[in-house]
């Protein structure tokens, strides 16, 4: 009885101290989707969020027992117990340490954000949580043992990869003659996914969370195609290679005795097919020719940076930050493909003049140039992505206004935009062929991005972007989404969306490279 009296008194004291704390709303973004804002309190320099909104953000249920001061969070069949005034949380017979205690305000429980963003809660909940103090945004993304699939088209075969956590086991089985399933038993997916490949070898793929497993289903473009399942490290990935009819099936790489796996390698070849492997002598004869093929260099330009923040979103998201995060993701995707060299104009938050960005590409003899940006508009309903190539005549008034906005950074460089644009027009007149190639590149990228992202495709357009005019290679500028649109801004804060966008851009690069004969 004495303990109950003391606890009730403590709760009353906490509830009756509004002068030491202030209420405010914070934005909540879950898996790239904006949710209802959550009420929070700031006390002693610490941020606390309404316990009820915690349940909604993580897809669970929260029960608040005001008399006993107990908070119960139920998620994925597990329960977490918290008590007002305590810095400990209990789950089963295990205790999780909290840096700050649960507080009570206006008869409601508030959980410290420091606990939600910590490693112990991430492990228990299966979600990664990040709080952006500057924009007052809580970003929650599901973390699992299975990542999102990626598709790479090569000459003669298509590769689908699936990133796996250490210890996750998988198996591959044929789906009749029209496809193959890769199953991760007891896997947890970051989210369902699907993609259209449509490269003549693989038609599409879907990733679904099922009871006690994750299933990646790959559908062939035609029946009877051969496939192989294997694994690659750094990061660990399950790999499905699907081969075009008549394409040679590479031999399995030899494994040294000390490196031999304890169980048979996960490699399968399905569907009847006559042997088509090349004789060893012929393969050797073709090696010098392959060696003459040089690796193509892709220069990625994260727009803005440093003293130039670019556009700012409704919740304060800065374009320069999103551009850099997306550029790093695109670099990872291209390096995973393995057949391009990659260079970024900037890898941190620094200011670069537009002319210097172009010069970086030119001095390195870049084969393709991709500048990543976020769009913005006075009309908050404008949404979607666009891909631009350079032209002296803009596709439409909106494209012309966008180019003028992006080129306005010249003033930060101490240059007169009108004078600089006049110089670039003279330069562009000598680059008609490169401009035409950029148009083709932009159209391909718009198509491949549109197959992957779940926002409006606004198409390939043209405008007089200064950064594209100065580049001596086919060049495009991708406006990934509108940071001025609430739902688009939420997506831009999500790594999963940025990764999907990067995969779409990478697919456009690969498609253009194949048409140019750069890839075997």
Residues of the chain with CATH 3.30.457.10: 2-142
**β-sheet bridge partners, residue 308:** 305
pLDDT in tens, 183-203: 999 898 888 888 888 889 999
* C-beta of residue 375 within 8 angstroms of C-beta of residue 479: yes
pLDDT in tens, 480-503: 999 999 999 999 999 989 999 999
**What does the alpha-carbon distance between residue 82 and residue 88 come to, in Å, rounded to a whole number?**
7
Q: What is the pLDDT of residue 309?
A: 95
**What does the alpha-carbon distance between residue 105 and residue 82 come to, in Å, rounded to a whole number?**
16
Residues of the chain with CATH 2.60.40.3500: 146-280
User: Which residues, 6 or more positions from 28, have their beta carbon under 8 angstroms from its beta carbon?
Assistant: 34, 35, 36, 37, 38, 53, 57, 137, 138, 140
- For the domain with range 2-142, which CATH number is right: 3.30.457.10, 3.40.630.10, 3.90.79.10, 3.20.20.120? 3.30.457.10
**What does the alpha-carbon distance between residue 446 and residue 448 come to, in Å, rounded to a whole number?**
6
On the question of pLDDT at 364 being above 60, the answer is yes
User: Is CATH 2.60.40.3500 the right assignment for the domain spanning 146-280?
Assistant: yes
* C-beta of residue 80 within 8 angstroms of C-beta of residue 95: no
Closest CA to 333 of 198, 510, 156: 510
User: Which residues, 6 or more positions from 501, have their beta carbon under 8 angstroms from its beta carbon?
Assistant: 326, 329, 385, 449, 452, 453, 478, 480
- Virtual torsion, Cα 430, 432, 435, 440, nearest 10 deg: -160
Burial level of 56, CB count in 10 A (0-12/13-18/19+)?
middle
**What does the alpha-carbon distance between residue 87 and residue 98 come to, in Å, rounded to a whole number?**
5
State whether residue 343 is helix, strand or coil. strand
| pLDDT, the chain, mean | 83
Per cent of the chain over pLDDT 90 is 54
- Centre a 10 Å sphere on the Cβ of residue 11 and count the other Cβ atoms it contains: 20
Closest CA to 103 of 25, 16, 4: 16
Q: What is the pTM of this model?
A: 0.77
Fold of 296-515: Aminopeptidase (3.40.630)
Q: What is the pLDDT of residue 71?
A: 94
User: Which residues, 6 or more positions from 132, have their beta carbon under 8 angstroms from its beta carbon?
Assistant: 138, 139, 493
**β-sheet bridge partners, residue 96:** 89
Closest CA to 237 of 154, 145, 330: 145
Q: What integer is the mean pLDDT of 274-285?
A: 40
Token pair 């898996």 is found at: 31
* C-beta of residue 62 within 8 angstroms of C-beta of residue 52: yes
The H-or-E segment that residue 245 falls in is: none
Report the chain's terminal Cα–Cα distance, integer Å.
79
389 — pLDDT class (breaks 50, 70, 90): very high
User: Which residues, 6 or more positions from 487, have their beta carbon under 8 angstroms from its beta carbon?
Assistant: 33, 34, 383
Q: What is the pLDDT of residue 234?
A: 84
pLDDT in tens, 188-245: 888 888 888 888 999 999 999 998 899 999 999 998 889 999 999 988 999 999 999 8
pLDDT in tens, 115-166: 999 999 998 888 899 999 989 899 999 888 898 899 998 888 999 999 999 8
On the question of pLDDT at 254 being above 60, the answer is no
State whether residue 53 is helix, strand or coil. helix
Q: Catalogue the E-assigned strands of 175-267.
A: 179-185, 193-196, 202-210, 213-220, 227-232, 237-243
Lowest mean pLDDT among 157-161, 221-225, 427-431, 458-462: 427-431
**β-sheet bridge partners, residue 355:** none
Q: Work out whether strand 46-50 and strand 475-482 pair parallel, antiparallel, or are unpaired.
A: unpaired
Q: What is the pLDDT of residue 148?
A: 86
- Centre a 10 Å sphere on the Cβ of residue 466 and count the other Cβ atoms it contains: 24
Distances in Å between the alpha carbon of 46 and those of 13, 86, 102, 374, 464?
18, 15, 11, 32, 47
The H-or-E segment that residue 70 falls in is: strand 70-75
State whether residue 448 is helix, strand or coil. helix
| Bond from prior residue into 324 cis (ω within 30 degrees of 0) | no
Q: What are phi and psi of 44, to 5 degrees?
A: 60, 30
Per cent of the chain over pLDDT 70 is 81
Q: What is the pLDDT of residue 417?
A: 54
């Amino acid at each position: 009885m004495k303990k109950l009296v003391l606890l009730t008194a403590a709760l009353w004291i906490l509830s009756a101290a509004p002068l030491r704390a202030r209420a405010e709303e914070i934005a909540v973004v879950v898996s790239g989707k904006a949710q209802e804002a959550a009420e929070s309190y700031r006390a002693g320099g610490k941020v606390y969020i309404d316990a009820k909104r915690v349940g909604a953000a993580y897809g669970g249920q929260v029960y608040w027992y005001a008399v006993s001061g107990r908070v119960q969070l139920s998620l994925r069949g597990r329960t977490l117990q918290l008590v007002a005034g305590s810095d400990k949380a209990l789950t089963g017979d295990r205790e999780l340490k909290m840096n700050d205690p649960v507080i009570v305000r206006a008869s409601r429980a508030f959980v410290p954000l420091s606990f939600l963003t910590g490693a112990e809660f991430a492990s228990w909940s299966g979600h990664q949580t990040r709080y952006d103090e500057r924009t007052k945004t809580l970003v929650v993304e599901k973390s699992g043992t299975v990542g999102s699939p990626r598709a790479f088209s090569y000459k003669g075969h298509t590769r689908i990869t699936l990133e796996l956590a250490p210890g996750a086991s998988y198996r591959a089985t044929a789906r009749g003659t029209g496809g193959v399933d890769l199953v991760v038993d007891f896997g947890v997916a970051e989210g369902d996914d699907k993609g259209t490949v449509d490269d003549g070898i693989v038609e599409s793929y879907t990733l679904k969370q099922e009871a006690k497993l994750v299933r990646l289903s790959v559908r062939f473009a035609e029946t009877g195609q051969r496939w192989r399942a294997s694994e690659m490290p750094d990061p660990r990935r399950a790999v499905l290679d699907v081969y075009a009819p008549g394409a040679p099936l590479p031999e399995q790489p030899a494994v040294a005795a000390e490196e031999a796996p304890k169980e048979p390698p996960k490699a399968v070849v399905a569907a009847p097919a006559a042997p088509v492997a090349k004789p060893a002598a012929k393969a050797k004869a073709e090696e010098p020719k392959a060696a003459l093929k040089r690796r193509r260099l892709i220069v990625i330009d994260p727009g803005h940076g440093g003293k130039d923040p670019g556009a700012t979103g409704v919740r304060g998201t800065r374009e320069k930050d999103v551009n850099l995060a997306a550029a790093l993701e695109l670099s990872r995707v291209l390096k995973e493909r393995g057949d391009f060299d990659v260079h970024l104009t900037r890898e941190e938050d620094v200011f670069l003049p537009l002319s210097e960005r172009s010069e970086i590409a030119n001095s390195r003899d870049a084969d393709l140039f991709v500048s990543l940006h976020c769009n913005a508009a006075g009309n908050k309903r404008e949404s979607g992505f666009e891909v631009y190539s350079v032209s002296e005549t803009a596709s439409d008034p909106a494209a012309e206004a966008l180019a003028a906005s992006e080129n306005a950074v010249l003033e930060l460089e101490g240059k007169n935009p009108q004078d600089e644009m006049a110089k670039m027009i003279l330069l562009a007149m000598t680059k008609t062929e490169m401009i035409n190639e950029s148009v083709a590149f932009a159209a391909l990228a718009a198509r491949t991005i549109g197959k992957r992202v779940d926002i409006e495709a606004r198409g390939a357009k043209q405008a007089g972007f200064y950064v594209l005019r100065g580049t001596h290679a086919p060049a495009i500028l991708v406006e990934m989404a509108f940071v001025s649109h609430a739902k688009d801004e939420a997506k831009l804060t999500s790594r999963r969306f940025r990764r999907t966008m990067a995969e779409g851009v990478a697919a456009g690069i690969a498609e253009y490279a194949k048409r140019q004969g750069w890839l075997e």
